[in-house]
Amino acid sequence: MASVICKWGKKKWKITPKQIKPLDDFSYDQSYNVDKKKKDKRKANLSYTIYLETGNDVRKEITSWYKLLGKKNGLYIGKKRFGPAKMRLDSAKSSPIHVTDNGRVHYATIALEFTEP
């Protein structure tokens, strides 16, 4: 049985007997623009570290996020939507990326930035 921690579109952070992909950090913010006298767009940032040993294809995970840049989906924590109906993926950063001596990607930390469209 899977325990889904977070999801955005088809991407899921979960714990199962075959795969472990937990969140490291999550932040959410909104501010008020005094000059425009309105709220700025909401933003969410999250990061997670994935390891080859926990059932993840690290290289595939990294490249899959780059293909999703600019896409919009709802962001869910547990089973409840967090924030607006859609959040756009604006940035995907992978650092550090640890590569083994045989060229396999052993682990990476992936940081994602989402903005209300």
Q: Could you tell me the pTM of the whole model?
A: 0.89
Helix (H) or strand (E) holding 94: strand 87-99
Q: Phi and psi for 63 in degrees, rounded to 5? A: -65, -30
DSSP characters for 1-56? --EEEEEETTEEEEE-SS-B---SEEEEE--EETTTTEEPPPEEEEEEEEEGGGT-
Strands 32-33 and 3-8: unpaired
CA 98 to chain centre: 19
Look at residue 18 in the predicted model and tell me its pLDDT.
84
CATH code of the domain covering residue 55:
2.40.30
Look at residue 19 in the predicted model and tell me its pLDDT.
84
Number of domains into which the chain is organized = 1
Look at residue 20 in the predicted model and tell me its pLDDT.
87
Domain that holds residue 83: 3-115
What digits encode the pLDDT tens for the residues 75-94? 999 999 999 999 999 999 99
Look at residue 41 in the predicted model and tell me its pLDDT.
93
Look at residue 1 in the predicted model and tell me its pLDDT.
58
Look at residue 36 in the predicted model and tell me its pLDDT.
86
Task: Encode burial over 94-116: b for 16+ CB neighbours within 10 A, e otherwise.
Answer: beeeeeeeeeebebbbbbbbbbb
pLDDT (tens digit, 0 to 9) for every residue of the chain, 117 residues total?
A: 578 999 999 999 998 888 889 899 999 999 998 998 899 999 999 999 999 998 899 999 999 999 999 999 999 999 999 999 999 999 999 999 999 899 889 999 999 999 999
